Chains A and B, each alone.
Chain A
Amino acid sequence: MQKYVVRRLLLAVPTLIGLTVMIFAIMRVLPGDPLVAYLDPNQMVSMSEAELDAIRKDHGLDRPLVVQYADWMGDVLNGSFGNAMFGAKAPVINTIKTRGVTSAEIGIIAVAISWIIGLPVGIISAVRPGSFLDMFTSFTTVLFLAIPGFWLALLILLATVTYWGYAPPRVGVPLWEDPWNHFQIVIFPATVMGVAMAAIIARMARSSLFEVLREDYVRTARSKGIRESVTVIRHALPNALMPVLTLSGVMLGFALGGSVAVEVAFQTPGLGRSMSDAAILRDMTTVQSLVLVYGIVFVLANLLVDLLYGWIDPRIRLG
């Protein structure tokens, strides 16, 4: 197992390096002048080439791409992720710290919600396959998979703000200073993403438990006269939960992607909104670093899932 973990970790390194190259290349072939982030475009068109070149030189935009890439990699490795091109021009790590906490909380609460809702639903459906309840829940889960998260967010926004006059706080403060403030900010996006994830969890829990309930050892337990509820909860569930657990890791990536639109819809101060704002302002350093953060989290989550699979099922790590 140790060897497998090391091998997988080593394989992730070239992927991440390749990712940085891809992101960097994409950000450099973007149409438009990167100076727009620094200067007023109106002012820019009336400036002479020499003036613009001087500013480019000051920001290091005239250097060879390899040097610029190395510079960015240096910033990533020393943890500052480079300075934003817009606003206070602060290191991007500040944004990642303040906004990232909010997004991480949303992700964690969403996963928690998905378990709280999805697991009981999945268990009930698996125990009574073909019943009305099973059909109803299986339809509901497919339905929630089909609802776009940002649309649900808009509907909630319409209801809370327009009809009840309630607005979540505008600015996030650190969790430990005002937990209530924080809770109000994260709860709506977390719920929206949580219900969609609950649908996936319920589906997975149902099919996984359904299969385990047909295993020989469960039949043995039943034949010994153990109560059905005990059979399900004590004997079948622990084994059925493993795939569900690993699925939560996959869904972290799902949540990451979906969170951009949901955060923009709710105007939540999270990483997704930062990225969207930075892309509109053409703040290349911020966009490339935030995308990299998304990539790192995504790769690590997938890696964790693979490792968990390998741990559960030794055939995978040998194959």
Chain B
Amino acid sequence: MTAWSSQYLKIADDAELAKYNGRFHEVSPVESSGSGPFIMTEINDDTVITEANPNYWNPNGPYLDGIHFIWGKNNSTQLTASIATGQIDWSMFVTPADSNDPNGPLASHPGLHHGYHTIPDASGVAFNNETGPLSDKNMRKAIAIALDADIVRKVIEPYFQMEYHGGFWPYSPELGNYSFTKAELDEMKYFRSPTPEDLAEAKELLKAAGYDSGADVPTLSIIVFEDPGYELVVQSYQAQLKENLGIDSVISVDEMGIHHQRTHDKDFDIGASKYIPMHNPYPEEWLAYTLGYIDGKPGGLNSSGVNMPGFDDLLVELGNSTPETRMEVSERLFDLLVDNMPHLPLSVGWVGHEWWSADFKGYRCDECSYTGAYMGGKWDYVWLDR
């Protein structure tokens, strides 16, 4: 729904595409007629207005005359108040604090329905493994040990209401919803809260990299783009690096374009922007997209151009594996990633809360949950009973 109300969702035919020299991203969403259930008629700074498509393939649907999308700040108190006062009929990203509160403003409106979903998006720390101090594998490992994913989760929980899923791939069709449990993660030194032994090992790794103590390490540069959540995360990295290893670091908050240019140019040591949308259920594909090379070029999200010997071959092997051999290949892939430590995954999936009014029919059941990306409901079958 969010995607729908943005400029990126549009269906254009060949004639329109030709008008923009075949560049789809420039097609105006209002001009393009589309063939979905709804047609966009107006888009402005506040709203996106869509109307039912009379030429939709299903003659019975959609049941709504149109949808009026209103831009709002995610998880804001204003959003909660808007749904509570009946200004809007449906809303995603309702403040978890209000959604979970049995005495909150939404609970006092018994007609409202509530649903939630877990979305397996992931984020992590990108390391510059080609230039600077972190080009040494030992340094990357030392930092991976010293950074406590649990603290990072605790810090951003109030921001995104994240729930920890852990591991590299929480979802794959062959293995079901496979992910590491908390107990399994606690066995792995890179993914647990660092114990005193872990920190001692991290300091040994620093020595192996040629630094007697953290204070000898040149000041690291941590980059992040303008986002309040990530700004919180990097401040927590900075504090932990100082506390656990004695390493000094400087944060710079850059505008999105500059940030990506800097990751591309390797003008950083630690980047906190590895955002991995796992809407693609095939791990080998999104791994290639985020850490590997596709057709000799870094994958779309591999903006820092991470290049690990043997990684892409293993991905091909994973893609060709049978369900029996798949686990074994995955483990080899996992070992390769841990050995190289190109980035520390702080994999989290977050919980989104949706609320909708009593008149709103044909949507999902009350108090339902689902996992995955926006597989919520079909808007063709939604109607308003009033």
A88 and B29: CB pair below 8 A?
yes
B44 touches A36 (CB 8 A): no
Q: Which of B25, B46, B87, B260 contacts A167 (CB 8 A)?
A: B87
On whether the beta carbons of A46 and B298 are closer than 8 Å, the reply is: yes
Q: How many residues of A contact B (CB 8 A)?
A: 42
Indicate whether B199 reaches chain A with its CB closer than 8 angstroms.
Answer: no
Is A11's beta carbon under 8 Å from chain B?
no
Contact pattern, B 66-99, Cβ under 8 Å of A = 1, otherwise 0:
0000101100111011101101100000000000
B256-280 contacts to A, CB under 8 A, are 256-261, 263-264
Q: Does B229 contact A (CB under 8 A)?
A: no
B257 & A44 in contact (Cβ 8 Å cutoff): yes
A272 to chain B, nearest CB (A): 12
Indicate if the CB atoms of A170 and B256 lie closer than 8 Å.
no
Instruction: Establish whether residues B77 and A267, one from each chain, have CB atoms under 8 Å apart when the complex forms.
Output: no
Taking a contact as CB atoms closer than 8 A, the residue among A44, A87, A167, A170 that contacts B70 in the complex is: A170
- Measured between beta carbons, the chain B residues less than 8 angstroms from A87 are 7, 43-45
Shortest distance between the CB of A175 and any CB in chain B (Å): 15
Instruction: Indicate if B174 sits at the interface (CB-CB under 8 A).
Output: no
> Are the CB atoms of B261 and A162 closer together than 8 Å?
no
> How many whole Å from A113's CB to the nearest CB in chain B?
23
Collect the chain A residues with CB atoms within 8 Å of residue B85's CB.
Answer: 165-167
- Selected contact of B261 from candidates A45, A94, A95, CB within 8 Å: A45
Q: Kindly state the interface size class of chain B when it binds its partner.
A: 35 or more
How distant is the Cα of A165 from the Cα of B107 in the complex, in angstroms? 12
* B28: chain A residues within 8 A (beta carbon): 88-89
Q: Which of B7-35 touch A at CB < 8 Å?
A: 7, 21, 23, 25-26, 28-30
Which of B30, B43, B47 is close to A171, meaning CB atoms less than 8 Å apart? B47
A31 within 8 A of B: yes
CA of A36 to CA of B299 in the docked complex: distance in angstroms?
A: 19
A169 located at the interface, meaning its Cβ lies under 8 Å from any Cβ of chain B in the complex: yes
Additional 20 contacts, C-beta under 8 A, given A42-B301, A161-B78, A167-B77: A39-B25, A40-B25, A41-B256, A41-B259, A42-B300, A44-B257, A46-B302, A46-B303, A55-B23, A58-B23, A86-B7, A87-B45, A166-B81, A168-B78, A169-B87, A170-B78, A267-B73, A274-B45, A280-B226, A282-B256
Could you list which residues of chain B lie within 8 angstroms of chain A, going by C-beta atoms?
7, 21, 23, 25-26, 28-30, 43-47, 70, 72-73, 76-78, 80-82, 84-85, 87-88, 105, 226, 255-261, 263-264, 297-303
Q: Which 9 residue pairs are nearest across A and B when measured between Cβ atoms?
A: A167-B81, A36-B257, A41-B260, A88-B43, A32-B257, A45-B264, A161-B77, A165-B105, A32-B258
